[in-house]
């Protein structure tokens, strides 16, 4: 058990009322979860301010408070600690509470708009195949060796991260690979973590509902690299126009990867088929089971990271050639009638274009490409017309439908997508609100040899409508309808 003095180590305190000698068993930042004797951290969130719940937390038994401003009434028996930023303080406190587990294994973070999940998952699979015990923190799932733990966020809160990292240590893990979202950087969820390395994939249009401007979004991603130590590596995609920006102020060892420009780690696409990729990686030709130029970047990033972590080149390439990536990322199937179905998580204009342009590179040209696509509610509205425009530009037929409408009316989301449908593309577009019916219609329109892409939800096994999560699996539904087509 730790004292307040132990867990407040390295936290910049502006003022203290009370003692630091009290023992702490629980830390909470949600007043509803406070238990007697807890330390409550009042955080200013996007929807509520924890400072409004300090009295409630104390009534429920909290004996110590971290806050950015004192409440109007100071209770004599309570310890108060004033800080400039409660969210940053929580990260440091959480790390101290669990004895800084990130410093005792090699933690590698992956950030960027697209590719985070695939790279983190491939690294997890690769290092397990190389014989290590490994942890994973990702959008699809968290994992400690064989133990799968459901994931609710791309990057969990600081308490959850440190608890999971501690569990990984207890399980003997040598490495952990985690996705680092821009939200997590902006909200200080990674504060207090000791990273062995960071990877940048790319930066395109996304999350402007939260960051408001593209510059703020870029600065959030860059903030991750700015915080790396001089013992870490910073690996960036040199082909992305913002790739070198990430390295401008980092103290970490700077490394690059790319397909087009001069880089420390270089690859070239030799062949690209639905069955896989033939790449020249640092002058070794290797066949991979993954498809598309975007996966060539993902594979190269994984390869580079493994070598930066001092793994043997031949063993890494041999193992990578056997791997298939994350669930819901270019999931590929062929129906009994010969129709190709692809389910992908692509939910940004750039990601959709990556998937569809990859198919265009591979297809023969005589078949139809039918795309089913929607946009999530309560998220960045500015990308809705862009998503529809990209789908139309790269497809023969497009069905606009619901994704996770959440609290918004799905019909309104679709109307906002339709703004991006140019006059010459209107004939190729259908709008069907019901996502299951949209997928069924795509299968009905398809002929043998045609290609159907269902984009946006990927690995998700639910659809969120009016605040309720209902069972829904794109891959399962697409497979069901494809099997009915003769």
Nearest to 341 by CA among 229, 191, 476: 476
Tokens of 135: 């942890």
State yes or no: pLDDT of 210 exceeds 70. Answer: no
275-286, pLDDT tens digit by residue? 899 999 999 999
> Tokens representing 89?
């303080």
Q: Residues near 128 by Cβ (< 8 Å), separated by ≥ 6?
A: 134, 145
Structure tokens at 164: 């999971």
d(CA 176, CA 136): 6
Q: How far apart, in whole angstroms, are the C-alpha atoms of residue 470 and residue 199?
A: 34
In this predicted model, what pLDDT tens digit does every residue of 121-142 receive, in sequence order? 999 999 999 999 999 999 889 9
In this predicted structure, the answer to whether residue 211 has a pLDDT above a threshold of 50 is no
What is the percent of the chain where pLDDT is above 90?
83
Q: Look at residue 453 and tell me whether its pLDDT is greater than 90.
A: yes
pLDDT tens-digit map of 155-166 = 789 999 999 999
Confidence at residue 205, expressed as pLDDT on a 0 to 100 scale: 57
Q: What is the pLDDT of residue 182?
A: 84
Please, which pLDDT band fits residue 47 given cuts at 50, 70 and 90?
A: confident
What pLDDT sits at residue 253? 98
Residues 6+ apart with CB under 8 A from 77: 63
Determine contact, residues 307/451, Cβ cutoff 8 Å: no
Name residue, tokens 């996966």. Answer: 295
For 482, the token pair is 């494809």
Main-chain dihedrals φ then ψ at residue 336, nearest 5 degrees: -55, -25
DSSP summary character for residue 44: B
CA distance 182 to 179: 10
Token code pair at residue 418:
């339709």
Which of 449, 263, 215 lies closest to 338, judged by CA?
449
Between helix 293-308 and helix 116-129 the angle, nearest 10°, is 50
* DSSP H/E element including 199: strand 197-200
Q: List Cα–Cα distances, 227 to 10, 117, 190, 398, in angstroms.
A: 16, 21, 10, 43
For residues 396-416, give the mean pLDDT: 97
279 bridge partner residues: 269, 286
Contact 452, 481 (CB under 8 A): no
């Amino acid at each position: 058990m730790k004292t307040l003095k132990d867990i407040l180590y390295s936290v910049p305190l502006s003022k203290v009322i009370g003692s630091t000698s009290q023992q702490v068993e629980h830390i909470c930042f949600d007043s509803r979860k406070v238990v007697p004797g807890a330390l409550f951290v009042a955080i200013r969130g996007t929807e509520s301010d924890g400072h409004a719940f300090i009295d409630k937390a104390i009534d429920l038994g909290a004996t110590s408070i971290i806050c950015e401003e004192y409440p109007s009434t100071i209770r004599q028996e309570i310890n108060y600690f004033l800080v400039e930023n409660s969210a940053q303080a929580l990260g440091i406190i959480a790390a101290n509470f669990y004895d800084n587990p990130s410093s005792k294994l090699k933690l590698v973070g992956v950030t960027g708009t697209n590719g985070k999940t695939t790279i983190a998952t491939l690294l997890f699979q690769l290092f397990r195949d190389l014989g290590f015990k490994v942890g994973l923190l990702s959008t699809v799932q968290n994992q400690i060796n064989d133990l799968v733990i459901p994931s609710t966020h791309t990057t969990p809160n600081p308490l959850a991260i440190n608890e999971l990292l501690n569990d990984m240590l207890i399980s003997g893990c040598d490495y952990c690979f985690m996705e680092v979202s821009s939200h997590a950087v902006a909200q200080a969820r990674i504060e207090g973590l000791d990273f062995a390395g960071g990877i940048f994939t790319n930066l395109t249009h996304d999350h402007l509902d939260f960051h408001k401007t593209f510059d703020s979004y870029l600065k959030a991603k860059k903030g991750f690299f700015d915080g790396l130590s001089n013992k870490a590596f910073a690996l960036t995609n040199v082909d992305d126009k913002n790739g070198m920006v990430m390295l401008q102020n980092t103290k970490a060892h700077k490394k690059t990867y790319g397909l087009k420009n001069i880089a420390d780690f270089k690859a070239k696409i030799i062949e690209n088929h639905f069955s896989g990729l033939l790449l020249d990686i640092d002058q070794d030709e290797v066949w991979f089971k993954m498809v598309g130029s975007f996966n060539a970047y993902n594979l190269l990033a994984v390869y580079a990271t493994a070598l930066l972590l001092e793994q043997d080149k031949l063993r890494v390439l041999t193992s990578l050639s056997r791997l298939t990536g994350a669930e819901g990322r270019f999931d590929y199937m062929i129906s009994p009638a010969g129709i190709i179905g692809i389910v992908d998580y692509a939910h940004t204009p750039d990601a959709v274009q990556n998937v569809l342009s990859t198919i265009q590179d591979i297809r023969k040209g005589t078949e139809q490409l039918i795309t089913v696509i929607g946009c999530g509610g309560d998220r960045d509205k500015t990308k809705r017309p862009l998503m529809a425009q990209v789908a139309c530009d790269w497809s023969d037929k497009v069905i606009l439908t619901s994704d996770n409408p959440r609290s918004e009316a799905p019909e309104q989301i679709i109307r906002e997508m339709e703004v991006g449908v140019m006059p010459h593309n209107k004939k190729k577009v259908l709008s069907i609100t019901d996502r299951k019916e949209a997928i069924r219609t795509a299968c009905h329109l398809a002929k043998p040899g045609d290609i159907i892409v269902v984009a946006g939800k990927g690995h998700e096994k639910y659809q969120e409508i009016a605040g309720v999560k209902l069972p829904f699996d794109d891959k399962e539904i697409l497979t069901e309808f494809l099997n009915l087509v003769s």
